Structure 1
Amino acid sequence: MCCIIPTGLALPHNYNIALHNWELSINVRLPLKMESREKYSKDTYYVLGQTISHEEDLLHEFKGHRNISIHDIPSHALASAGAKERTRNAVSVSIGGMLNSGHGGTIYLGVADNGQVKGMTLTRYQKDHIEVSLSWTLGRYTPPVPESRYSVIFVPVISNKNQTLPQKIDEFVDPKRRSQLHHVAQSNYCWCDTDAKARKDIGKLPMAYVVEIHVHPWEPHRFKVSTDPLDTLSSFLPPLHLTEASACFFRQSCRQLRLCLEDVRRLLVHRVQEHYTLKVEALQNEYKALQCLAQKHSIKILPPVHHNTDDRGTKR
């Protein structure tokens, strides 16, 4: 099974849906606008076996696999009999936690839990697959994640510090083959994985990479609540996203906490209270500044009017 999609779900025009045995196999082509998203610098690389300087924390997560969606997790990575949880979490869980925290962060694919760089060999087609899978998965979030909230960088991995990294990584790419649809949201191999295996079998090993998925902080003032009294609430509170599996996660330290409905309510109440507390402080400071200005010019300012309200918040 690739993925069960609810009846009536609208999909973008570039999604080819093939019905087979009452299931939907999802095939996605790399949009042309995504071809320029990859960044590469000859001065940026990792050394195989090196240990990354920072540990897993609020802003950094290490992954030894590239299962983006929960549907990508293979059966052998599922929990053993009697256990309720998977032995491997999809990358989307970490992305969801970082998005909902508002602070963002970076997920490193190809780095072990202890911070040691392992890398993962990827052909151009497999790199396309990762970008396609990310786009499809984050497009299934509620609300969908805009492309401005994340970026992907493929950083080469070299065997030792003395190795010279070429200015351009040469790899034959067939444009017609690259335009093929990728099979996402499934644990089976895509055609790009079969192609990569065939290359390895004849001794053509692709470059190894660490894939950095950067989740950008909530942009309005970098998640700092605005002190401008005229700014609206909705513009400065980051949205809470549900993943493609309709679960809500929140990044705390180096873990993702799964939030229940009550947790979400408390988080929203806290954010709203913090927002309006700073608003009130800003208004009080502005009022004091106006008082000082009025005294300087001998202008009398009437004191603020306090309205009494009943339990329902109605003025009396």
Structure 2
Amino acid sequence: MSRAAEDSDAFVACGEVRTCLLPTRDALDERTAVELLHLRPDERVRVSRHPNRHVVSPDVLTGVDCRLPTDTGARVRAVGTVRSRASLVEGRVIQSTASFSLPAVGADRRQSWGYYLVRPGLLVPLGRLPESAVVRGFLRGHRQGELDVGSIAESVLAHISRQDRILDHDPPLTAADTRLRWTAVRTTADEEPSSLLTKNEDGLSTLELRLPPGVAPSEAVGLCEDLALHDWLLTTVADKLDGLPTAAADGRAVLRVLRPLVDHLLHLWMPRARVDRALQTAWNQLEEAPGFSRQWNALAQRIRDQLAVRAIHLPDEVPGRR
């Protein structure tokens, strides 16, 4: 089945994105990044070089036959495949994504696997889908015996992290992993597209998207990956600057914190670089509240100001000086 045909069946899409620093001292070059993300021998790794270098693995399909999470306790069985992939931004930040789409109504009986395999990334419910209960239940988190797409995304990262011939597991800075769990549904004709982001204390954020009628919910994957990347960048830099000592006596300690941020992260901020034009409204709402770019610009300026001050007091320690 073509992607267009799959999207025509989609009524709801759900997924989870895991984002972390690639566990290696130096950023990978393009050739090595392609080797790292060559997850399937029968499919090519995709590379985009503009406006930054972005390497994406082939899709990997995982067959599932299980209950879907619901907030009502309703037992909703679905069968099909979850689509997962990994991406690497500028050889430095690695992401893994697991996602699936759901039609509004499925067959009353389970079909043979051949029926589901020609619909990659589509989970077909047995009977009618209780949309609201599944969306709320997915965002809340799975219970025992229910579908856990986060573990599928995590397994992709685990597979990549075991490639010791490529990775030296000596990253230039410590950074927490983040998770973005998201749902996307189409709006009705009289309803405005919207996005609602909620951040928790444990590194998990949830995103509820309501998309224009002409946009298939599965198209939200790229938007959610872009948001997850920039949320991770913002979280990582803000955490590093939180409580940063500024006394003159601590100048070298400050530079040890700031230099890795300059060398490895600041140039990665490029929101909406690969977001479909039809989904720009959702990103624009996130720019208004909570105001991602405003906060990032303030943090980046703080780093530049600190480096300027250190250049006066510790000229031999400024990043880039010899």
What range is the shorter-chain TM-score in?
under 0.3
Q: Which has the larger radius of gyration?
A: 1
What TM-score do the two structures reach when normalised by structure 2?
Answer: 0.25
Which structure shows the higher helix fraction?
2
Specify which structure has the bigger relative contact order, considering alpha-carbon pairs within 8 angstroms and separated by 6 or more residues.
1
Which structure shows the higher strand fraction?
2
What TM-score do the two structures reach when normalised by structure 1?
Answer: 0.26
